[in-house]
Structure 1
Amino acid sequence: MIVTVDALDRLKGIRHGFLTRRGGVSDGIYDSLNCGLGTTDERARVFENRARAMKAAGLLDGPLNTAYQVHSAKVLVVETPLDQSNRPEVDGLVTRTKGINLGVLTADCGPVLFADAEAGVIGAAHAGWKGALSGVLQETVRVMEILGARRENIVAAIGPCIGQDSYEVGTEFPTPFIEQDRDNARFFAANACRKFQFDLAGYCAAQLQSLGLAEVVVSGHDTCALEDDFFSYRRKTKRDEPDYGRQVSVIGIV
């Protein structure tokens, strides 16, 4: 039901978890731990699933705060609970307040959780290719530093996202990445169809490592390939299904 990483597990006062799709109350295409408020799933079921996710991660104090994610590089400091019926349009959340638990919703994009346990500052970012390319990971670290974090103390973990073997992109797709840095060509592998396979997690990890963080880890789960465990937008698109569930990744200070 939950994926954790040792790098965050060993931090005192921090709890986290990358939830799978298992262990919830939803059914049909949302089976079963759908935590996305933007889906057409029954709202009561989504809130029950979110409560279960919080409990699984050991976060029992306070609500789960998530944003209306728009594939941007915008990051918000959260000091009081966010209104989940009017969520801010950002892709990164940062706090130093105990009980303000942060969450990010994904279904192939990269969920990235951050923590500086010494400063007591945490962050959560939604890193699809657009947000990652435009700097949401760098911006999350910058805003954490405003709150007192030090990048050399920050641990960042990239959770389950679409894997390179599942992520075919067109011939034009690599261009903005290579314009950003010619070395980014290493994240694109040519396939037999004369297109490319994009390594989203690898790209995100490289962006984070360039910032000089204490540690950067990748869970290594492919959300598109592991159907029993994860929701996937790409899988939904290939099957022409009407909607898809979202798994949640959470972090909080306890």
Structure 2
Amino acid sequence: MQAVEVNRAGVLDDIPHGFLGRRGGVSTGAVAGLNVGLGSGDDPVAIAENRRRAVEAVLPGGRLASVYQVHSADCVTVGDAVWGDDVRPHADALVTDRPGAVLGVLTADCAPVLLADREAGVVGAAHAGWKGAVAGVTDRTIAAMISLGAAPSRIVAAVGPCIAATSYEVDEGFHQRFLAQSSDNGRFFAPGRPEHWQFDLEAYVAARLEAAGIAAVERLGLDTYVQPERFYSFRRATHLAEANYGRQFSLIANR
């Protein structure tokens, strides 16, 4: 049996966490591997086993909490209540100060962000697609962590596997949305074919985190689009006209 691949960040080295991919799961077909997407059309039994394996790879015995992701900037706080797969609030980020709670966000090209304040014992996880990133999902996550006792000067964050600029072509309308927010956002775009640009989602998300004044930000630099054996990718599946696509987990926990 192939082991679950757990990609870790140096800034979170002593905190239970992992940016997972598709290796180590039981799903078959187009979503073969560690598919954890409840809305992927995969066998529910396989998804449940994959989600169990994912949690065990990060914090054995941990209690998983995830959300029904809607590309928003909304963040929820996880307390003592046990969340099941059928009890997921609509949001795109989670924070907690409870030991044993494992926060999980799903991605398939969007940027997963894991955050922690070791001293306060507060962790967070955010799903940052371009819509959520522009709307401030990372800012909301940091604010929610602060409400639990975290301090910006102690918070560290890592941006995990996501689609890279060389793989992420966008049109002029997309480009103008970012320029309307700030002319400085032009630095995240490189010219592509006529009336198109290559957008650096990872750099944009990292810049938003840095602008929030936190202690450190790490980028893993892993492109989901070009590594089909390791990661699921919505855009790759679309380009290949595949019937479906899987989702991978990024998880963080307090011990």
For normalisation by structure 1, the TM-score amounts to: 0.96
Which residue of structure 2 aligns with residue 68 of structure 1? 68
Partner Cα distance (1:141, 1:176) in 2: 24
Partner Cα distance (1:99, 1:178) in 2: 42
Matched length: 250
Provide, for residues 147-195 of structure 1, a one-character-per-residue CA deviation record: whole Å limited to 9, x for no partner.
0000110011000000000000001111121111111000011113441
Q: Which moved more, 1:184-193 or 1:219-228?
A: 184-193
Matches within 5 A, 1:1-254: 1-10=5-14, 14-57=15-58, 59-79=59-79, 80-254=81-255
Partner Cα distance (1:170, 1:7) in 2: 34
2:46 aligns to what SS in structure 1? helix
Q: Which residue identity is paired with 1:249?
A: S
Partner Cα distance (1:66, 1:37) in 2: 11
1:126 aligns to what SS in structure 2? strand
Verify the 8 A CA contact 1:78 1:93 in the aligned structure 2: yes
Partner Cα distance (1:89, 1:192) in 2: 37
Q: Structure 1 regions of 5+ residues with no counterpart? A: none
Verify the 8 A CA contact 1:81 1:100 in the aligned structure 2: no
Partner Cα distance (1:141, 1:62) in 2: 23
Partner Cα distance (1:177, 1:225) in 2: 25
Partner Cα distance (1:171, 1:81) in 2: 44
Q: Which residue identity is paired with 1:93?
A: L
Partner Cα distance (2:20, 2:69) in 1: 18
- 1:60 deviates by 1.4
Provide, for residues 34-77 of structure 1, a one-character-per-residue CA deviation record: whole Å limited to 9, x for no partner.
011111111111111111112222x1133311111000000000
Provide, for residues 185-215 of structure 1, a one-character-per-residue CA deviation record: whole Å limited to 9, x for no partner.
0001111344100000000000000111110
Partner Cα distance (1:189, 1:94) in 2: 34
Verify the 8 A CA contact 1:110 1:200 in the aligned structure 2: yes
- 1:100 deviates by 1.2
Partner Cα distance (2:208, 2:123) in 1: 18
- 1:81 deviates by 2.1
Verify the 8 A CA contact 2:55 2:62 in the aligned structure 1: no
Verify the 8 A CA contact 1:30 1:41 in the aligned structure 2: yes
Provide, for residues 87-112 of structure 1, a one-character-per-residue CA deviation record: whole Å limited to 9, x for no partner.
11000000000111100000000000
Q: Which residue identity is paired with 1:65?
A: A
Verify the 8 A CA contact 1:3 1:18 in the aligned structure 2: yes
Partner Cα distance (1:188, 1:137) in 2: 20
Partner Cα distance (2:45, 2:119) in 1: 37
Q: Structure 2 regions of 5+ residues with no counterpart? A: none
Partner Cα distance (1:145, 1:138) in 2: 11
Partner Cα distance (2:39, 2:106) in 1: 10
Partner Cα distance (1:83, 1:89) in 2: 14
Partner Cα distance (2:147, 2:227) in 1: 38
Verify the 8 A CA contact 2:102 2:254 in the aligned structure 1: yes
1:86 aligns to what SS in structure 2? coil
Structure 1 consecutive aligned stretches of length 4 or more whose deviation exceeds 2 Å: none
Partner Cα distance (2:161, 2:92) in 1: 17
Verify the 8 A CA contact 2:26 2:34 in the aligned structure 1: yes
Residue identity over aligned pairs, in percent, reads 50
